[in-house]
Amino acid sequence: MAKLSQEEIANLEYQLNIATRSQGKCEMVLKNFPGKSAQSFTGFIAADGKDAGNSLYTGLVNI
């Protein structure tokens, strides 16, 4: 596991409500870490917010 610097922690990125199931895909624009690699995770919540699935590790991505 890599240790993050205070600057990296301050620049962590996440986005909420960026796609719906009917769209069938999701894209994120990550500005703070160009040229780096990152571990990615995804999670799902019902439209009414009452149910949520477990998060899922989606692998290493190059930014």
Q: Whole-prediction pTM value?
A: 0.61
pLDDT at 1 over 70: no
Letter for the amino acid at 38? Answer: A
Could you give the 3-state DSSP secondary structure of residue 53?
Answer: coil
pLDDT-based confidence at 2, cuts 50/70/90? low
Domain spans, the chain: 6-62
Of 6, 11, 10, residue with least CA distance to 63? 11
pLDDT tens digits for range 16-58: 888 888 888 888 887 777 888 888 888 888 888 899 999 899 9
pLDDT score recorded for residue 61: 87
pLDDT of residue 30: 78
